[in-house]
A and B are shown apart, each in its own frame.
Chain A
Amino acid sequence: MQKREKWKLIIPFVLPALILFTVFTMYPAVRGLYISLFKWTGLTQNMTFIGLNNFSKLWRELTDPADFYNIRLYLSHNAFIFVFSLVTIILALVVATVINNKVFGHKAFRVTYFFPNVLSVAAIAVLWSMILNPSFGLINGILRSIGLEQLALPWLSLQYEMPLFKLGLYSVGFIGIWGGLGWYMILFLAAIQNVPQELIESAMLDGANRVRMFWSVTIPLIWETIRTVLIFAVIGALNQFALVYILFEQTPNKHSDMIMNYYYFQAFAQRNWGYAAAIVVIIFIVTLIGSLVSYRVSARETVQY
C-alpha cells in the first residue's frame, strides 16, 4: 500500500521526462536501426528493404585493403583524437591540483582555462582557422616576425606529413586540448575540493609529501570522477564532428574526417540514408563497447577512509 503511494508521487515527476526521452531519444534510436535495413534517399517516404546489405557493404569497406579511404581510416582518426583526450585528462588533473593549492592568481587561471567552454565549437573552429592560417595567421605571423620562418608551417594542411597522420589532424588534437582542458579541470577541481581536509592533514602529519598525498589520497578519492571523465573522452572522441567539419570547410577531407563526418557525408552528400544509419549503428556499438571497456579497465574498489 505504501509502495503504491510512493509511485503516485514519483510518476508525475518522472513521466514528462520519460515521454520526452522516449519521443526524442529512444524513438529516433530505434528508427535509426530500422532505417539501416533500407535503401533510402531521405527525400520521400519511398524506402526499399534490403535486409543487412548495408552492413555487408560496411564490412567490405572495413576489410577491403584496395579501398583507400574508408571506415578504418576514419576510426583511426577518432582513436588518434582519443589519445589527445587522454593527454587533456592528465593535464586537467595537474592544473586542477595546482589551482586547488591556491597558487598566486588561481582564480584568474580557473576562469582562463574554463573560458573555451563558453564558446561554441563553431566559434572555436573559426577562431583557430584564423590563428592557424598559413598566410595571415597569428602563429605564423609571430614565427616570421621573430625569424623562425622555417617553423611557419601550414598548420591545417592535410598533405603535410607527420608521424602516422597529417599535420592538420595534429592541429585538431591540440585545439581539442585547448577546448577540453577547462571542462575536465572543473570536474576534477570539484572532486578534489570534496576530499576531506582532515585526511590531507593527517597525511601531512604522517610525513607524506605533496606527491605522495596526491597519489595516495587525492587520486583514490576522486577515482569515480576519473572514470566518468574517461567515458566522456571515449564518447567525445567518437563523436567528433563539428570541429573538423568547420575547420576543414565541410568537404569530405579524408585525412581529417572522423567517423561522424563520414556518416554525414553518406547521408547528406551521397544520400544513402540507409547506409548512414548503418554507420551510426556501428558507432553506437563501438561507443558502447569503448565506454564499457574504459569503465571496466578503470574499475577498482571505491576507497573510503
Chain B
Amino acid sequence: MISPKKPTLTRRQMLSLMGATGATAALVACGATTPAAAPTAVPATKASEPTKAPEATKASEPTKAPEATKAPEATTAPTAAAGGGYPADFKARSESWKALPSDHKKGELIKQGDWYAMLGKPPAEIEAAFWLEGWGHGWVKDVAEQLEKEHAGAKVKVWGDPRIWETLQPRLVAGDVPDVGRLWISGGQAAQIAGTVDGVYVPVDILLDVEAPSQPGKRLEEVLADGSVKAASMGISERQWAMPFAQTQMGIYYNAAMFEKNKWPQPDTLSWEDFLKLHEEIAKAGIAPWTYQGKYPGYFDLVVTPLIYKKAGQKAMCDIDNLVEGAWKNPDVMWALEQMPTIFKSGWVFKGAEAMSHTEGQQVFVDGKAAMVPCGTWLQREQEATTPKDFRMKLSSVPAPKDGKGFPKALANTADAALVVGNGKNPLWGMEYVRWVYSARTAKYIAEQVGGMLAVQEPLVGATVNDAVKSAVAAVKAAEGHYPTSYYGAWYPDMGKVMGDAWGDYLWGKVNVKDLTDNLERAAKEAREDSTIKKITRTDCQ
C-alpha cells in the first residue's frame, strides 16, 4: 500500500526541490508513495476488516447467465491441451487437469476410488491460502489434517492473513495461483466474477459429483445444504466457480432476555406495521430499539433487502436485477425504502452509534443498551470476548408488511461463494481439499468451535449449540426455502456503488428516497445502454 517515506534532509532548497518534483512525480506511481510531511504524518497500516461485511443477500433460485458464464481463456500460456479434462472447453494451466474424464456426464456419481485414481500421487505440497477472519484458521488446519490422514504422503501448507487479497494480487497477475482457499480478491461478489472471467479459478462442477467423504454412495452435491450450491454460483448457472462454505443467516438479532422480561414478542411474529409500534414501546422503556454498525451503515441492507422482497415480491427483485426501467420506482419498492429513514428520524437508534465501528456498535447491543441490531450469524463469535455470560441473543427474520407480496417468513440466508480452487499447479488436489471441508468432522468442528453452520444438510449433528444458533435454525425452517436475493450490486458494480455510497445519508433521511431511486434508475440506464457491460438475466421471477 503506502510506503512510509519521511525526509531526513533539512536543507530548505533540497526540500523545495523534492517537494516540487520528486513528490509530485511519485504520486503518479499508482499513488503508492507518499511524500514528506503531510500534516498528519505518513505511513499506512494493516487493519482488520469486519469479520464479515454484509453483501447484498444471496441465495435463492438459479439464474441464467448467458454471457458472463463464458469459460475464461487461460491467461498465461496454458500448458494443458484443449479437450482434456472436464469441462473440455476449459483450459487449465496444470497438466493434471487432463486426468479428469472429458466425457463425464453431469450428475453421475464418481466413486471415491475412481476419484483417487484421477488425483494420482499427492504433490510435494498443496497450498491452502485462506483469508484469516472471524472464523479463525482452526477449521482450515483441521481439514488439512483430515486430508493428510486420508492420503499418505500428502502435505498441506496452510497460510493466510486478514488482507490476503493484497498479498496475493501480484501472484495472481503472474499466474502463480494457490491450490485452494478463500477470498483471494477483494471487492465482493463482482470481483469474484471478475476472477472467473480472468481465469484465476478452475470450474469445480465435477467435484459436485464426487462421492462425499464419510457418506458412501452420495454425491457431494447431495450432502450440501439446499440452495447452497446455487448460492455459491454467484448467479452464474452454467458453471460452478466456487463452493459454499458456511450457511449464514442474517436479519434482526434481538436481546432475548430483555424481550422476554418486557413481554415483547419476537419481531417476525408481528407485521411490519406492528413492529414499528413495538419500537415506540421499547423507546418508552428507556431503551434504544436499535444500534447498528455506524461506520458500516450498509448492514441495514440485511433489513432493507428482505423488506423490499416481502413488500414488493420476487418479481420486483427480478426487475431490479434485470435492469428493467422503472424497477426502483415501483411504489412497493419505494414504500420499503421509506421505512428505514422513518426509524432513524423517529430517534429509535442508539445515540452516537453512527460514529462507532461495527464491533463498538454491536457492543451496545450485548451491553443491553439497545434492543436490536441488524447482523448475521457471525455476531456471537465476533462479540464473544465482550459478551456478558448471561446474555442471550436470538435471530428473527424481518417482519413482513400486512399486504406484502413476498413470503412472510423469508430469511436472508446465504452460503457465500467462499471456497475457490485455483487455476494453478494442483487444481485436483485443491478440489480434494474442498471435498474434505464437507465431512461430518468439519461440520461438528464449525458448530462447536466457531459457532457456525457448515453448508451441509446436517450441520449440527452431534454438536451442542446455544440459543442463537437454535434460533437461526428455526428461522431457516420457517423460511421454507424463501431466501430474498439481490444481485444488481454484484453484476453491475457501478449501480451497487450508488446504493453503497448512499447508505449513511439514506438511513438518516438526508438523501430522500426519490433522489436515491432517481440515481439508481440513472445507473441502471447507464448499465443497460453500455454495450461493454455484460448483461446477466435473472429468471427466478415467480
Tell me if A224 and B12 are in contact (CB < 8 A). yes
Tell me if B502 and A180 are in contact (CB < 8 A). no
Given the complex, which residues of B lie within 8 Å of A283, measured CB to CB? 27-28, 31
> In chain B, what residue has the closest Cβ to A171?
B355
Tell me if A291 and B187 are in contact (CB < 8 A). no
> In chain A, what residue has the closest Cβ to B35?
A235
Tell me if B296 and A254 are in contact (CB < 8 A). no
Given the complex, which residues of A lie within 8 Å of B169, measured CB to CB? 42-43
Given the complex, which residues of B lie within 8 Å of A76, measured CB to CB? none
User: Considering the chains assembled together, what is the distance between the CA atoms of A287 and B28 in angstroms?
Assistant: 10
Tell me if B194 and A43 are in contact (CB < 8 A). yes
Which residues from 149 to 183 on chain A have a C-beta closer than 8 Å to any C-beta of chain B? 154-160, 168, 172, 175-177, 179-180, 183
Q: With A39-B532, A43-B185, A228-B19 given, is the CB distance from A235 to B41 under 8 Å?
A: no
B29 touches which of A32, A252, A291 (Cβ 8 Å): A32
Q: Does B186 contact A (CB under 8 A)?
A: yes
> In chain A, what residue has the closest Cβ to B172?
A43
Instruction: Tell me which of B43-51, B103-111, B436-444, B479-487 binds A.
Output: B43-51
Tell me if B38 and A235 are in contact (CB < 8 A). yes
Most buried by A among B39, B175, B200, B522: B39
> In chain B, what residue has the closest Cβ to A24?
B29
A250 touches which of B29, B30, B49 (Cβ 8 Å): B49
User: What 0/1 readout, one digit per residue, does chain B (355-390) give for beta carbons within 8 Å of chain A?
Assistant: 111101000100000000000000000000000000
Which residues from 13 to 48 on chain B have a C-beta closer than 8 Å to any C-beta of chain A? 13, 15-16, 19-20, 22-45, 47
Q: How far is the CB of A93 from chain B (nearest CB, A)?
A: 14
Q: Does B118 contact A (CB under 8 A)?
A: no
Tell me if A239 and B34 are in contact (CB < 8 A). yes
Tell me if B185 and A271 are in contact (CB < 8 A). yes
Q: Does B497 contact A (CB under 8 A)?
A: yes
Given the complex, which residues of A lie within 8 Å of B519, measured CB to CB? 66-68
Tell me if A124 and B29 are in contact (CB < 8 A). no
Tell me if A133 and B47 are in contact (CB < 8 A). no
Given the complex, which residues of A lie within 8 Å of B465, measured CB to CB? none
Q: With A45-B75, A159-B504, A242-B44 given, is the CB distance from A177 to B29 under 8 Å?
A: no
Tell me if A121 and B42 are in contact (CB < 8 A). yes
Tell me if A263 and B501 are in contact (CB < 8 A). no
Tell me if B198 and A263 are in contact (CB < 8 A). no
> In chain A, what residue has the closest Cβ to B45?
A122
Total number of B residues with any Cβ neighbor in A under 8 Å: 86
Given the complex, which residues of B lie within 8 Å of A116, measured CB to CB? 41
Tell me if A269 and B188 are in contact (CB < 8 A). yes
Q: How far is the CB of B176 from chain A (nearest CB, A)?
A: 11
Tell me if A135 and B502 are in contact (CB < 8 A). no
Instruction: Tell me which of A80-88, A94-102, A105-113, A200-208 binds B.
Output: A80-88
Tell me if A284 and B24 are in contact (CB < 8 A). yes
Q: Does A33 contact B (CB under 8 A)?
A: yes
Tell me if A233 and B173 are in contact (CB < 8 A). no
Given the complex, which residues of A lie within 8 Å of B27, measured CB to CB? 235, 238-239, 280, 283-284, 287
Q: Does A197 contact B (CB under 8 A)?
A: no
User: Considering the chains assembled together, what is the distance between the CA atoms of A269 and B501 in angstroms?
Assistant: 13
User: Considering the chains assembled together, what is the distance between the CA atoms of A42 and B43 in angstroms?
Assistant: 24
User: Considering the chains assembled together, what is the distance between the CA atoms of A287 and B12 in angstroms?
Assistant: 20
B30 touches which of A32, A179, A251 (Cβ 8 Å): A32
Q: How far is the CB of A247 from chain B (nearest CB, A)?
A: 9
Tell me if B28 and A33 are in contact (CB < 8 A). yes
Tell me if B41 and A249 are in contact (CB < 8 A). no
Q: Does B354 contact A (CB under 8 A)?
A: yes
Q: Does A7 contact B (CB under 8 A)?
A: no
Total number of A residues with any Cβ neighbor in B under 8 Å: 104
Tell me if A240 and B25 are in contact (CB < 8 A). no
Q: With A228-B15, A284-B27 given, is the CB distance from A242 to B2 under 8 Å?
A: yes
Q: Does A260 contact B (CB under 8 A)?
A: yes
Q: Does A227 contact B (CB under 8 A)?
A: yes
Q: Does A2 contact B (CB under 8 A)?
A: no
Tell me if B76 and A68 are in contact (CB < 8 A). no
Q: Does A295 contact B (CB under 8 A)?
A: yes
User: Considering the chains assembled together, what is the distance between the CA atoms of A154 and B351 in angstroms?
Assistant: 8
Q: How far is the CB of B79 from chain A (nearest CB, A)?
A: 16
Q: Does A199 contact B (CB under 8 A)?
A: no
Tell me if B44 and A241 are in contact (CB < 8 A). yes
> In chain A, what residue has the closest Cβ to B30?
A32
Given the complex, which residues of A lie within 8 Å of B13, measured CB to CB? 224
Tell me if A240 and B33 are in contact (CB < 8 A). no
Most buried by A among B33, B295, B358: B295
Tell me if A25 and B29 are in contact (CB < 8 A). yes
**Could you tell me which A residues sit within 8 Å of B by CB distance?**
21, 24-26, 28-33, 35, 39, 41-46, 50, 66-69, 81, 84-85, 88, 116-117, 119-122, 124, 129, 132-135, 154-160, 168, 172, 175-177, 179-180, 183-184, 187, 190-191, 224-225, 227-228, 231-233, 235-243, 245-246, 248-255, 260, 263-264, 267-272, 276-277, 280-281, 283-284, 287-288, 291-292, 295
Q: Could you give 6 example pairs across A and B, Cβ below 8 Å?
A: A68-B501, A122-B43, A157-B355, A237-B39, A269-B186, A287-B27
**Could you tell me which B residues sit within 8 Å of A by CB distance?**
2, 4, 10, 12-13, 15-16, 19-20, 22-45, 47, 49-50, 53, 75-76, 165-166, 169, 172-173, 175, 185-188, 190-191, 194-195, 197-200, 294-296, 298, 351-352, 354-358, 360, 364, 493-494, 497, 500-502, 504-505, 508, 510-511, 515, 518-519, 522, 532
Q: 5 smallest A-B Cβ distances: which pairs?
A: A180-B39, A236-B38, A122-B45, A134-B352, A28-B29
**8 new A-B pairs (CB below 8 Å) besides A66-B522, A68-B515, A180-B37?**
A29-B28, A158-B355, A175-B40, A179-B40, A232-B37, A235-B24, A241-B2, A254-B502
